């Protein structure tokens, strides 16, 4: 059995129940709480190696998480991948994320694609003891999602996609008050790529967007209280430039903003009744109303709204379309979570499969995400068939 402290460490970090009891906190320190926070973790090593980038990077087998609309532009007709990420490895050794994804193109000229993914985030094993410290049982809190997407090329340069997702979060630890939470959400995404001349080179310019996790709220206590899913707006662009017949590179930029209402901070002299009313008003906001209000409800005004915008910049180098090196930087305001890190990655691609790895180095002090490792393995179905002939 693994340590009970692993679960509580993860829960504290993920912020499942840390929002409203605060009192005399800084007016600027105001992170946005969300349910099922593992949905914000980049699962694959390619995007992770560029600082969590992928909404407009060149299409690949891992596109389901970033932007399913990229699949109609991918080389190949079908493929699948598996990714593994040990999470918070500096603190514990039994929290990890496993991610499976795949796609299949069909129809005339392969204009259509169906894709799916399965995500399992384990928070380790928790030993339950009674009041006499006698062992009762072990439980395994976890978060699970399954989604499917349909994408179609709508023109020579543009494609769109719709993704439907089922979400289940089970943090039960033997308490009668804790129940598994279930929710449904959808993504709407688009991707455009076109060639343009840069001197003597023909560069590939990509633009993409993904509005993700638009859906219901989720409750962990039988419906007494509920929390927002991490609805998110991701915009991005990329530019791929060939250097010669063997060498090329790309530079990508992603911008993110949570489409979740910003909690209102307590004020000096706030009574218990006023705090309860503030919490109740926040909980009463519907998911749709929360999306629209998220653009202008920060108590710190425009300055705080801009602090809620996260960005990442990444570079990728290719040699002979087989070997790649990557690096990138991810930035989040210190008042909204303080995730700031540099990422490094590498990849190798042959006929039948590709393998990618990424490593994260935090630039913020005492960041538990420091030294996070991601590993991904992808398979091209056409390449596998060639090997089996």
The structure tokens listed for 67 are 């932007």
pLDDT tens per residue across span 121-133? 998 776 665 555 5
Q: What is the mean pLDDT of residues 20-30?
A: 49
Using one digit for the tens of pLDDT, what is the confidence trace for 83-118?
A: 999 988 777 777 899 999 999 999 888 899 999 999
- Detail the DSSP E strand segments found in the chain: 78-86, 96-106, 112-122, 126-129, 135-139, 142-153, 158-170, 181-198, 201-215, 232-242, 247-258, 309-319, 323-331, 340-349, 353-362, 373-380
Cβ-based neighbours of 155, under 8 Å, separated by 6 or more: none
DSSP state for residue 305 in the 8-state scheme? H
Tell me if 83 sits within 8 A of 64, measured CB to CB: no
Cβ 331 vs Cβ 343: under 8 Å:
no
Residue pointed to by tokens 């007016």? 27
pTM: 0.86
Nearest CA to 158 among 209, 90, 91?
209
Helix/strand/coil for 275 = helix
Q: Is the pLDDT of residue 30 over 50?
A: yes
| Burial profile 345-379: b = 16 or more Cβ within 10 angstroms, e = fewer | bbbebeebbbebbbbbebeeeebbbbebebbbbbb
Give the model confidence (pLDDT) of 136-187 as tens digits: 556 678 899 999 999 999 999 999 999 999 999 988 765 556 788 999 999 9
CATH architecture of 4-388: Beta Barrel (2.40)
Calpha distance 124→12 (Å, rounded): 14
The full set of domain ranges for the chain reads 4-388
Coil/strand/helix, residue 142: strand
CB 211, CB 187: distance < 8 Å? yes
For the chain, give the number of residues.
389
């Amino acid at each position: 059995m693994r340590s009970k402290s692993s679960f509580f460490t993860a829960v504290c970090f993920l912020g499942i129940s840390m929002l409203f009891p605060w009192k005399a906190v800084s007016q600027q320190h105001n992170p946005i709480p969300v349910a099922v926070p593992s949905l914000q973790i980049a699962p694959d090593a390619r995007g992770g190696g560029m600082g969590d980038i992928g909404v407009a990077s060149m299409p690949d087998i891992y596109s389901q998480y970033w932007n399913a609309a990229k699949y109609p532009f991918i080389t190949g007709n079908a493929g699948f991948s598996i990714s593994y990420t040990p999470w918070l490895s500096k603190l514990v050794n039994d929290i990890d994320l496993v991610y499976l994804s795949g796609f299949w193109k069909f129809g005339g000229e392969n204009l259509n694609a169906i894709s799916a993914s399965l995500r399992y985030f384990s928070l380790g094993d928790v030993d339950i003891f009674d009041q006499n410290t006698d062992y009762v049982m072990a439980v395994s809190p976890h978060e699970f999602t399954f989604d499917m997407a349909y994408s179609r090329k709508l023109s020579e340069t543009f494609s769109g996609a719709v993704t439907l997702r089922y979400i289940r979060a089970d943090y039960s630890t033997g308490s009668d008050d804790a129940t598994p939470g279930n929710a449904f959400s959808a993504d709407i995404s688009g991707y455009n790529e076109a060639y343009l001349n840069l001197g003597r080179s023909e560069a590939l310019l990509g633009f993409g967007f993904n509005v993700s996790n638009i859906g219901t709220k989720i409750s962990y206590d039988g419906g007494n209280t509920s929390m927002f899913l991490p609805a998110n707006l991701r915009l991005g662009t990329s530019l791929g430039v060939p250097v010669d017949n063997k060498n090329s590179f790309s530079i990508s930029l992603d911008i993110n903003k949570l489409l979740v209402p910003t909690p209102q901070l307590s004020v000096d002299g706030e009574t218990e009744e006023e705090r309860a009313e503030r919490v109740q008003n926040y909980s009463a906001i519907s998911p749709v109303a929360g999306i629209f209000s998220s653009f202008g409800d920060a108590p710190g005004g425009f300055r705080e709204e801009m602090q809620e915008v996260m960005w990442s910049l990444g570079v990728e180098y290719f040699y002979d379309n087989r070997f790649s090196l990557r690096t990138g930087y991810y930035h989040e305001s210190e008042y909204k979570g303080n995730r700031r890190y540099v990422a490094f990655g590498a990849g190798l691609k042959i006929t039948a499969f590709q393998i990618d790895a990424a490593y994260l180095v935090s630039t913020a002090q005492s960041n538990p995400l420091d030294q996070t490792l991601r590993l991904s393995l992808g398979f091209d179905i056409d390449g596998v068939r060639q090997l089996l002939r």
